[in-house]
Amino acid sequence: MMAYPANIEQRINDLLSRMTLEEKLGQMSQHSVGGPISAQLKDEIRKGRWGSFLNAGSPADRVEAQRIALKESRLGIPLIFGRDVIHGYRTIFPIPLGQAASWDPELIRQAARVAAREASAAGIHWTFAPMLDITRDPRWGRIAETLGEDPYLASALGAAMVRGFQGDSLDAPGSIAACVKHYVGYGAAEGGRDYNTTWIPERLLRDVYLQPFHAAIRAGAATVMSAFNDLNGVPASGNPFTLRQVLRNEWKFDGFVVSDWNSVIEMVPHGVAAGPREAALIALRAGVDMEMVSRSYYEHLKQAVESGEVDQKLIDDAVRNILRVKFRLGLFDKPIPEKVAAEEAPPDAEALAVAKKLAAESVVLLKNANRTLPLSKTIGRVAVIGPLADSPVDQMGCWVMDGKASDVRTPLAAFRDVLGAARVAYAPGLKTSRDTSRAGFPAALEAARRADAVLLFLGEEQILSGEAHSRAFLDLPGAQEALVEEVAKAGKPLIVVIMAGRPLTFEKVAARADAVLYAWHPGTMGGPAIADLVLGVESPSGKLPVTFPRTVGQIPIYYNHMNTGRPPSEKALGIPTGTPVDPQGFDSKYLDVDFTPAYPFGYGLSYTTFEYTNLRVSSPSMPMGGKLTVSADVANTGTVEADEIVQLYVRDLVGSVTRPVRELKGFRRVRLKPGEKRTVEFELTTADLAFHNAENKLVTEPGVFHVWIGPDSTRGLRGEFRVTE
């Protein structure tokens, strides 16, 4: 946690004592400005009408608005400018789900640091990130913004993002305030339909969905955003259990809570408020300090206070929380810039280097039959085909506010740079990922026939993922599968690179391909990163942060599920052989698709091979409150230097409530030269094994545990230990 000057609270109390009720409600109001800040808005700033803006004009507009707030308003309270800096500002990094595939907290911290530096230089103080919603449904469009399905991984990476955005101190140059969202349960929307109902028992809420948020708060996150969804019948922006009991009382959070866009007044269509006035009362009492965009606080809370319906203390507490963050950011004391650049600077060398490295680490090698990859740099000619081979906007992915297509380096450009234009034949085949016309197929097939290898870039356009972009089907859209069939007729090595905002289902394409790389939406430097991987400059090291289903009919499918009383037998498929009288084969599976995923959580191949041996558990048992170490030897048994992400899983065999079949409890990125062996060690404490029991109490129960060290959630060396009283 960051340390702050003690006199901040004194300064807050002094300000509060001098503020009118209207000025307090102004601090609790955030306005969205699509263009320049108008003369009317400037006059409202002088009167203390607004405490915050998002999407507000140019850097010069923001400087002038801040000057007015500090120099011309009655109390000189600064504005806080927010912006959706989700996976980069000018330099665009892979979508968060792609970043999660790197399993690299330090590199993710560096990327957030670059984003904060760029945004801060443009007058932004606050980002609405990281998004820490756990989701088990890839139909949900906003899975692109998440860090995947696992609370341990999301906690580690989300905390790293917070540290990157906020730096060592919020008031330091290049630091911006993080806002962890969407609190809470938004990723469990029914059917993957955005904004939809979520039903999460408290035990599951605490063990899975709250964990990443708690980790981010422990890392010092300055602000929290309440979500759109209702949670167990109570809208998240009007939920005193999550906002006051858990966030304030249990976690001791002292920053401020902002509602998501219009989510306060959306409690009216939710059906828990009769109108905006009642919605404002519900949100304030629940613990929402600042209202985003809608105006119910400013328009209704003054009368509610004056009539005695609302305690003035609730208003003062909300304003105190907001002012505390403004003081911590140094907004009261920072000088107003005399000059502002007319245009923001393009990405610098450091930013591009981090973007390229993170893009490379995020790519997951799903298939590599007969060692098709890497291609030799001396290869004669390659065909670059597909609608996403040269599409800068789509490569950046969803939720890009300030990235520029002109900065993006596409795969086509990268391969031309490395191999020379004469050795690269390009044919898009389809105009967009959704294109159903086959007019471009003949040229694509001809390019493939003239090449020694085919690179086929498939997936989803930018507009097919993100907020309000849920999909009922996860197959490759348009005529992409038909394009694969056509290009395969050339009989050349076929390497498929998929760029997408979510897991897709592409079993037929994978069967046709010799190699498959999953590149997500990789951002500004995605092209050079992919070229380096394809040509063997680096070996792929990404591991899946989310389970890939074979078909949408399997959803939800996730690795840390419960076992059930009738778990499926290995390779169980088809109609059971028994009857209700003699139930042979009556277990938890589908009749028409394998119950296993297409690709499991934690999965990812390399250009080399790794061997795991000699699992050791330091003690056969540990007492309550104790610890032990689990280690294994990992060797590079191939011919390429590469990184392996070594993963630690546990299973509590018998609990007072059912426990998951595996739970991630640790991971390490290890770089090994050919023939090199290294011991990888993890420490486990009994606190790491805790869960919430039927009474929602956090407990570690004595008993036998299995432990694995391995390359993914389905394999590994298994050991055992016992926790004793």
Q: Which residues are catalytic?
A: 260
User: Measuring CA to CA, which residue among 562, 649, 645, 573 is closest to residue 603?
Assistant: 645
Q: 534 with 375: CB under 8 angstroms? A: yes
Burial profile 276-307: b = 16 or more Cβ within 10 angstroms, e = fewer: bbbbbbbbbebbbbbbbbbbbbbebbbebbee
Nearest CA among 20, 9, 78 for reference residue 45:
78
623 neighbors 591 (Cβ within 8 angstroms): no
Burial profile 43-77: b = 16 or more Cβ within 10 angstroms, e = fewer = ebbeebbbbbbbebbbbbbbbbbbebbbeebeeeb
Tell me the residue type at 477: P
Is the Cβ–Cβ distance between 77 and 51 less than 8 Å? yes
Phi, psi torsion values for 508, nearest 5 degrees: -65, -40
Buried b / exposed e over 174-213, threshold 16 CB at 10 Å, is ebbbbbbbbbbbbbbbeebebbbbbebeebebbbbbbbbb
**Residue carrying structure tokens 């973007």:** 355
The first and second tokens of residue 503, run together, are 């897991």
Please list, in sequence order, all residues whose beta carbon lies within 8 angstroms of the beta carbon of residue 141, skipping any fewer than 6 positions away: 194, 398, 464, 465, 466, 467, 468, 469, 470, 471, 501, 502
Cα separation, 679 vs 234, whole angstroms? 49
